[in-house]
């Protein structure tokens, strides 16, 4: 990554730490579930509205002040809330598929949340619309500073599925586009723009570390 690219605004995606429901694979959106002790450690180790688990994750991340004098603005928005699972809330994937089969939904076709959404919850289109709205707001903030004129990084603390949805929309992909991704509890992903160009959104497959003599 060139020094020029290093000054391009970034978007950091942070998934909240482990919860009891997430640990066992239960679909969790509107239900408030606390972080486990392990979940708190996952986030603390990553640190040098949203639900309780996302708020707690943010608080743990920010308990050590950033090493920059730049001002930080905190905003809570439902545009990055987890996909509303509706009738599937609290269920594991095999339970959802069994329920769909029992109700005769999808006519025997395998359920896929990316394209099928959730009965009683959100559709793919609804999730797409709110994520696109958030992405437009972020790009409006970052566009004037594509060459590092002023710090304009954005930190998003949210939930596993919606962050993977966000990455797809950041790249201009449909939510049902087959792009396999992993984002463990407490994990951090980084998005930015290629060639300092607001029209070329990209994700970092890897970030070059600074040389020892660099600030």
Per-residue pLDDT tens digits for 150-162 = 889 898 988 888 9
Q: What pLDDT is recorded for position 39?
A: 43
**Pick from 17, 8, 40: which is nearest to 154 by CA?**
8
Q: Which residues contact 181 (CB under 8 A, 6 or more apart)?
A: 164, 167
Residue 215 has pLDDT above 60, yes or no: no
Give the mean model confidence (pLDDT) for residues 17-30: 49
What does pTM read for this prediction? Answer: 0.72
Q: What pLDDT is recorded for position 107?
A: 75
3-state class (DSSP) for residue 3: helix
- Highest averaged pLDDT of the listed ranges 27-41, 60-74, 76-90, 98-112: 76-90
Q: What pLDDT is recorded for position 172?
A: 96
Measured distance CA(201)–CA(189) in Å, rounded: 14
Which residue among 18, 82, 122, 159 is the active-site one? 82
Q: What is the pLDDT of residues 33-44, one digit of tens each?
A: 454 454 444 444
Q: What is the DSSP-derived secondary structure letter of residue 185?
A: T
Residue 12 pairs with which residues in a beta bridge?
155, 190
Residue 137 has pLDDT above 60, yes or no: yes
Catalytic (active site) residue 16: yes
Which residue among 16, 18, 122, 159 is the active-site one? 16
Can you name the CATH fold of 3-203? Rossmann fold (3.40.50)
């Amino acid at each position: 990554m060139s020094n020029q690219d290093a000054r391009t605004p970034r978007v950091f995606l942070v998934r909240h730490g482990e919860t009891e429901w997430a640990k066992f694979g239960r679909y969790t959106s509107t239900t408030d579930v606390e972080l486990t002790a392990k979940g708190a450690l996952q986030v603390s180790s990553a640190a040098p509205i949203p639900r309780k688990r996302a708020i707690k994750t943010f608080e743990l991340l920010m308990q050590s002040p950033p090493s920059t004098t730049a001002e930080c603005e905190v905003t809570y928005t439902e545009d990055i809330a987890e996909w509303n699972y509706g009738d599937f809330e609290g269920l594991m994937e095999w339970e959802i598929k069994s329920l769909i089969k029992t109700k005769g939904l999808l006519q025997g076709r395998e359920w896929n949340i990316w394209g099928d959404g959730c009965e009683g919850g959100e559709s793919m289109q609804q999730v797409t619309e709110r994520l696109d709205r958030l992405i437009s707001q972020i790009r409006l903030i970052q566009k004037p500073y594509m060459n590092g004129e002023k710090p304009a990084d954005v930190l998003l603390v949210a939930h596993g599925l919606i962050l993977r949805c966000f990455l797809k929309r950041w790249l201009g992909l449909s939510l049902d586009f087959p792009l396999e991704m992993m984002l463990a509890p407490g994990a951090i992903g980084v998005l930015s723009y290629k060639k300092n160009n607001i029209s070329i959104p990209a994700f970092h497959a890897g970030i070059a570390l600074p040389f020892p003599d660099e600030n």
